[in-house]
A and B are shown apart, each in its own frame.
Chain A
Amino acid sequence: MKLSALQQSYLGRRSNSFRSSGPLDSSSDGAFKSPAAVFWLVLHGLSCLISLLLGFRFSRLVFLLLSTSSTYTSPFHSPTELAKTLDIRSVIPADPVGNVPLPFPNKTATNSRVVVGRHGIRIRPWPHPNPVEVMKAHRIIERVQTEQRLQFGVKDPRKIIVVTPTYVRTFQSLHLTGVMHSLMLVPYDLVWIVVEAGGVSNETASLIAKSGLRIIHVGFSQRMPNSWDERHKLETKMRLRGLRIVREKILDGIVIFADDSNMHSMELFDEIQNAKWFGAVSVGILANSANIDETVVEKRGEEENPRMPVQGPACNVSNMLAGWHTFNTLPFAGKSAVYIDDRATVLPRKLEWSGFVLNSRLLWKDGDKPEWMKDIDTLDGDIESPLDLVKDPSVVEPLGSCGRRVLLWWLRVEARADSKFPPRWIIDPPLEVTVPSKRTPWPDTPPELPSHKKPVIGIQEPIIKHTTKTRTSRSKRRSKRKHDETRTDRRTTGFDKTLQN
């Protein structure tokens, strides 16, 4: 009884602070106060003073001492009894055709099971996610998203036919993995036509086999030349080879040119579904500005906002195709890269192939297709730009809200022409020279015996950087060896600098 009144006045004090209202005439309504109320006020004041002296809430201590169970595991037993005493009033029904009020609210159907007062906070013994349930939830999310795509996404999505020219070189793995993962995420049916310069190789085949996509891998007899000009020409021929495959196999869908060093956004694949016959999207040009001269930097500094150059369709006010944005090569005149491993800027062509998509029916021999499409068998020479495939450039449909959205990015980055890399990126046989790093996280593990050293001096600089980095990572995994290291250390002094990172 005493405690309930204390609790009530406690509550009253709390809720008063809730609304920050000054004249609270609600709780103590009435002009006069009963002696009991005065007594409790005095007690309240006393406990406040004691709390001031002690430095913490005295009444809370009293409360805790008198209660029996802990907060966090089960509902309070004594406070629920207190709550029950408060609750007697809550059970009184409003209308006369009501239920008989019971003195203690048991869990009957007619009375409220809901109790006002303090409840325990229920925490289960292991409040962490259950992996099986997490997987179930992810499956639910996938199902909901598939349904969303069916309802609000593209109606009747067509198959996507991707044509990629590639060849074996150091950066092929980097570029092709990026394209491969983008294609693996595409929610539509996909066919990937990979045309490889220099013939079909195991390297490329093993790389793309990991994707699980449907792949048509063909070889092109010529090897990839060393200059960018020649390379662009050969790539064009390889793409035409890919288009011929589409014609031979009578593939039905939308053809997109995904160069292996480009970056594609997922929205690109949704947007190209809107192409009827021949569409064009805006391509952001990431001209590799690794070693830009000061003059170019100055020029850039003069502009307020050096914007990324974009290639693609340009529209007029009524959203009709009016022209083309192309890449301005003037600032780079004479300073662009000529050979593949030059450190100058690599320039794109006027209009890159990757910004165009076409309906595969345009390539078929028979069938109804618009008469403005040239037959690809008749084209054999140099095609400067993809617009040479059509007789009339104005039939091209601008996609991506009329070219305003940049949906993919063009980039050309290559390693030095003479750079080497382990075949299929498997280091086999395993490296046997391990050089200790300066600090290992496992100083106590027993030392391992080194075997004979492999001659590594003949390899050129880029590959040296590459292999020593792997070596340090391996040595971190192995232990620190005491005496033999110093000997190998001195022999491989050239690598010390790199080891210090």
Chain B
Amino acid sequence: MRKWFWGFLFIAFGFVCSIAAERNPRTERISGSAGDVLEDDPVGRLKVYVYELPSKYNKKILQKDPRCLSHMFAAEIYMHRFLLSSPVRTLNPEEADWFYTPIYATCDLTPTGLPLPFKSPRMVRSAIQLISSSWPYWNRTEGADHFFVVPHDFGACFHYQEEKAIERGILPILQRATLVQTFGQRNHVCLNEGSITIPPYAPPQKMQARQIPLDTPRSIFVYFRGLFYDVNNDPEGGYYARGARAAVWENFKNNPLFDISTEHPTTYYEDMQRAIFCLCPLGWAPWSPRLVEAVVFGCIPVIIADDIVLPFADAIPWEEIGVFVAEEDVPKLDTILTSIPPEVILRKQRLLANPSMKRAMLFPQPALPGDAFHQILNGLARKLPHQKSIYLKPGEKILNWTAGPVGDLKPW
């Protein structure tokens, strides 16, 4: 009888397995240590304490310019809102693992909508002075268990021009804190070890509203819309995008497979859903919202940015989803793309079709499980427990509060 019982159990198990395997033939789950991490739930794994800063650091700035809610740096605002009502939030700072300072440093916009980073160092400095004097937790570790969201072009270097940003380096008082930023480039001053790279904000409702039926055949081979030459700032070419975008234009403007232009079509989202490859070359900074759009619309991203660190790189296996092309190989882009075997392309499309992949790139309101907010929390949770060495002995000081350009030391 026992043999019968075990045999039956075995058959039932096999049955269940086969049904589960058949359920979703069209998407593929990234299995293994990287992919499973996407579906981790951070609730219960960490506790975050949100400092109560006066509203001049956050709400008043937002009131002055509500455009900050829809531009690509809006992640800092939505992260604040998410944490305020999230189950990982704790009101008792003694039991918190991480401390969050809600500063909207990227909300000082020009009339055309670009953020000016010139006051941000002073704002951050003043906020940190405030928290270090009102609460003991900053001085305890000099910020090593604090995290800040700095989604600007070059992160906490607070400048939009790369040479200036490199000159400034990361703000000295943020050197020990964990930075959650969109900028990511290996061996670059503005990317600290242990920073968490996030995708830029892209409006989820707008993208959902413009979805086309899935059986619309993908007939565009390569798609790109954007600038190739930045004539206002780099008329001769060669500086913008390190010449990579200009190389794409010069080499492939005659190629019928490449649908590339500088137009702003109203059907941009719909066109992306009809393309197989979407180019995501660097611009003045290596990251761009095109990556998010490509992943959401199922178009394989072709990333042309040397040494770039992509969002959530420890959770998402970008090598398997996208195609990486070195900037010096841009003239051979058509050879590279046409020599990818069709099975590999179909596999990449299946991985992209996975809804958890698309959700990990978005900042939906209200938050959904597995979205970018949760990936940030997962990243923070993976850095726990804190090493004992971050806790300073009383009286010990590591950071130099007067380092940096003289202009940063002015009060805000």
Contact = CB atoms under 8 A, between A and B. Distances in A.
Given A144-B218, A144-B349, A110 B159 contact: no
Contact of A143 (B237, B335, B338, B346): B346
B166 A21 contact: no
B257 interface: yes
B338 A140 contact: yes
A149 B346 CA distance: 13
B247 to A, nearest CB: 5
Contacts of B159: 26
Contacts of B218: 141, 144-145, 148
Interface string B163-207: 110110110000100000000011111001100000000000000
B110 A20 contact: yes
Contacts of A119: 238-239, 242-244, 327
A25 B246 contact: no
A406 to B, nearest CB: 19
B26 interface: yes
B166 A89 contact: yes
Interface in A98-142: 110-124, 127-130, 133-134, 136-137, 139-141
A76 B110 CA distance: 35
Contacts of B276: 140-141, 144
B227 interface: no
B137 interface: no
Nearest to B176: A95
Contacts of B325: none
Interface in B97-121: 110-112, 114, 116, 118
Given A14-B233, A19-B110, A119-B238, A86 B246 contact: no
Contacts of A151: 25-26, 214
Contact of A153 (B110, B114, B215, B335): B215
Interface in B76-131: 110-112, 114, 116, 118
Q: Looking at chain B, what size class is its interface with the partner chain?
A: 35 or more
B166 A121 contact: no
Contacts of B161: 11, 15, 18
Given A117-B239, A129-B334, A18 B192 contact: no
Interface in B312-346: 327-328, 330-332, 334-335, 337-340, 342, 345-346
B239 A136 contact: no
B222 to A, nearest CB: 9
A305 interface: no
Contacts of B118: 21, 24-26
Contacts of A71: 236-238
A124 B332 contact: yes
Contacts of B250: 72, 121, 123, 127
B193 to A, nearest CB: 6
Interface centre among A134, A137, A148 (most CB of B within 10 A): A137
B219 interface: yes
B396 interface: no
B251 A123 contact: yes
B129 to A, nearest CB: 20
A496 interface: no
A120 B306 contact: no
B162 interface: yes
Given A137-B337, A137-B338, A116 B162 contact: yes
B238 A21 contact: no
Given A15-B161, A137-B221, A128 B214 contact: no
- Most A C-beta atoms less than 10 A away, residue of B186, B251, B405: B251
B57 interface: no
Contact of B334 (A29, A72, A111, A133): A133
A122 B217 CA distance: 33
Contacts of B255: 128-129
B110 A90 contact: no
B257 A137 contact: yes
Contacts of B214: 148, 151-152
Nearest to A22: B110
B328 A122 contact: yes
Nearest to A23: B118
B186 A112 contact: yes
Interface residues of chain B: helix, strand, loop or mixed (majority): loop
B166 A148 contact: no
Given A90-B189, A119-B243, A122-B243, A11 B334 contact: no
B331 A141 contact: no
Contacts, number: 181
- The SS class assigned to the A binding surface is loop
Given A30-B407, A149-B215, A140 B242 contact: no
A297 interface: no
A11 B160 CA distance: 13
A129 B256 contact: yes
Contacts of B247: 121-123
Contacts of B213: 152
Contacts of B335: 130, 133
B231 to A, nearest CB: 11
Given A119-B243, A136-B339, A144-B349, A95 B163 contact: no
B387 interface: no
A137 B218 CA distance: 12
B17 interface: no
Given A110-B187, A124-B331, A94 B175 contact: yes
Contacts of B166: 89-90, 116
B331 A123 contact: yes
Contacts of B346: 143-144, 147
A29 B254 contact: no
A120 B407 contact: no
A94 B342 contact: no
Nearest to A130: B334
A240 interface: no
Contacts of A143: 342, 345-346
Contacts of B254: 127-129
A129 B253 CA distance: 10
B252 interface: yes
B31 interface: no
Nearest to B194: A95
Nearest to B282: A114
B65 interface: no
A272 to B, nearest CB: 16
B234 A14 contact: yes
Contacts of A92: 169, 189
B232 A18 contact: yes
Nearest to A118: B238
B94 to A, nearest CB: 29
Contacts of A76: 238
A105 to B, nearest CB: 10
A17 interface: yes
Among A19, A30, A122, A148, the one with the most B-chain Cβ atoms within 10 Å of its Cβ is A122
Interface string B278-309: 00000000000000000000000000001100
B243 A134 contact: no
A72 B255 CA distance: 20
A17 B160 CA distance: 12
A71 B218 CA distance: 37
A149 B234 CA distance: 45
Interface centre among B243, B253, B345, by most A CB within 10 Å? B243
A27 interface: yes
Contacts of B169: 92, 94
A141 B162 contact: no
20 contacts: A19-B110, A27-B164, A29-B406, A30-B407, A71-B236, A112-B187, A113-B306, A114-B306, A119-B238, A119-B242, A123-B251, A129-B256, A137-B338, A140-B276, A145-B218, A145-B219, A147-B346, A148-B215, A148-B217, A152-B215
Going nearest first, the 9 A-B pairs with the smallest beta carbon separation are A112-B187, A152-B215, A124-B331, A29-B407, A119-B243, A136-B338, A118-B238, A145-B217, A143-B342
Given A113-B306, A122-B247, 11 more contacts: A14-B233, A19-B114, A19-B160, A25-B118, A27-B164, A119-B243, A122-B251, A140-B340, A141-B218, A144-B217, A149-B215
